[in-house]
Structure 1
Amino acid sequence: MNPRKRFMERRDFLKLGATGAFGLMATAGNLLWSVEQAHAAELPPTVPKSLSPDLALQKLMAGNQRFVQHQLRHPDQSEIRLHEVAQAQHPFVTILSCADSRVPAEIIFDQGIGDIFDVRIAGNIATPEALGSIEYSVVLLGTPLLMVLGHERCGAVTAAVQNEALLGDIGSFVKAIKPAIKRVKDQSGDPVENAVVANVHYQIEQLKRSTLLTQRLESGQLKLVGGRYDLDTGVVSIIT
């Protein structure tokens, strides 16, 4: 066979092969896109209608009422909900609470997956890391409600009131609570209970130093409240 003819045939074959492969890739790409679009259409929307700060607080406290009255609904805990929030989260409240095992926010407020952005640390203190997490939730996720939640007989607050030497880094959160204790040292009543409430107020003051949070508060996009959880009854009371 003529070498030139053989070369032309081979070139045409390679050209056809490349075109065919490209066509297959394009077809496969279109098919994949179609499947993804169809799958997305079957899923429920992941972006809920945003609540106002006041309605968010009502929703949260209604959940605590259900918990206290033993009328739990266990909302947003289904497989459907799991898929709804798999790719994005839109919590309606951010809660800075104590790491105490007896104060799990989703349970005491009868909420579910993706409802509460939990920031838990002993003594519910506003450390830089806690503040950064809160700013992320409020500013980037758009939560309209922020609660600082203290609780009855808090071990961290008790340790700060007793002011005894502690092992390791346990003393770090005691140091963050002491300014609150100074405010109520001469107050009558239970010193730990007084300090629990004072600490909630103090930590709220620390949060208000954040420019990002202050802007949201002033614009009305965010509501900041303090709460106290009663270990004996399960009741959350708004204290500020």
Structure 2
Amino acid sequence: MNYKSLLLQITMIVTLLACQNKHEAHEVNDADEVKVNKVMILADSVLTADQQAKLTPDEIIALLKKGNDEFVSDSLTVRNNSAKVRRAALGQYPKAVILSCLDSRVPVEDVFHRGIGDVFVARIAGNFVNEDILGSMEFGCKVAGAKVILVLGHEYCGAIKSAIDDVKLGNITAMLSKIRPAVTSLTSFTGDKTSKNNDFVHAVCEQNVKLTMQQITAKSPMLKELVDKNQLKVVGAIYNMNTGKVDFL
């Protein structure tokens, strides 16, 4: 065997050994990853009727705040959604009803680190209430037992900006008319009252949340009765797009 042939064989053997070692290392890494994933999976169960009954509105609000802290700090756990789907199939006992904007940048369940069966979520551009939303809230609270209604506004809301600019476009015109009171009622605001002024947009966003909270009890005797009996709390908050933090009002 000449020198070149010997060198070629040695090179091939070294290459094969390197590939084998790499494959074995890859298998170990995969095993470690599977092990880590099993540890990280949150083995939480769907809330039962008894567990829901024992919770107070204040405890639920504290859970939502804690969940948002986990979302902001990126300490979310992996959930076994397949198992939760099966457990929730025969009934639901959520903790809260969350009224959010339609905006795709607000992943409501993730924002509060909640999962299947944890919260009812109603979404409409500008997070205002109408007859259908109120009826949904009444079902969620009076029938299904949720003890908190959270009205969740958010920064950089297109519906709020459009309401400020008094946009006229198809059915959007009628929709924005529900938000306009939040614009026109800010008579004490000093400064540029346009959608280009971020301070005014934020002020209208907060005002819209507050007016919506008022309308929930003003337009639903059923929900007002639950509030009066301390069985339900209506709260408001603003979601910060830059940080993921939810600031409760």
| Distance verdict in 2 for CA 1:44–1:203, change over 3 Å | closer
Q: Does 1:199 align with 2:205?
A: no
Q: Does 1:90 align with 2:93?
A: yes
* Equivalent residue number for residue 67 of structure 1: 71
| Distance verdict in 2 for CA 1:146–1:54, change over 3 Å | same
> Which deviations, in whole Å up to 9, do the C-alpha atoms of 1:213-234 show, x marking residues without a partner?
1111011111110000000000
Q: Is the 8 A contact 2:101 2:127 kept in 1?
A: yes
* Equivalent residue number for residue 147 of structure 1: 150
Q: State the AA in 1 paired with 2:242.
A: D
Q: Is the 8 A contact 1:161 1:191 kept in 2?
A: no
* Equivalent residue number for residue 246 of structure 2: 236
Q: State the AA in 2 paired with 1:138.
A: C
Find the aligned partners of 2:242 and 2:50 in 1 and give their Cα distance.
35
Q: Is the 8 A contact 1:46 1:84 kept in 2?
A: no
Find the aligned partners of 1:212 and 1:74 in 2 and give their Cα distance.
37
- SS where residue 167 of structure 2 aligns? coil
Given candidates 131, 134, 147, the residue that maps to 1:131 is 134
TM-score (norm. length: structure 1): 0.77
* Equivalent residue number for residue 235 of structure 2: 225
| Distance verdict in 2 for CA 1:185–1:207, change over 3 Å | same
Give 1:170 deviation, angstroms: 1.0
Q: Any unmatched runs of 5+ in structure 2?
A: 1-44, 192-198
Larger radius of gyration: 1
Q: In the comparison of the two structures, how many residue pairs are matched?
A: 195
Find the aligned partners of 1:201 and 1:45 in 2 and give their Cα distance.
30
Taking only the aligned residue pairs, the percentage that are identical comes to: 36
1:13-92 superposed matches below 5 A = 46-50=48-52, 51-75=55-79, 77-92=80-95
Q: Any unmatched runs of 5+ in structure 1?
A: 1-42
- SS where residue 122 of structure 1 aligns? coil
Q: Is the 8 A contact 1:149 1:227 kept in 2?
A: yes
TM-score (norm. length: structure 2): 0.74
**Pairwise CA RMSD of aligned residues?**
1.7
- SS where residue 180 of structure 2 aligns? helix
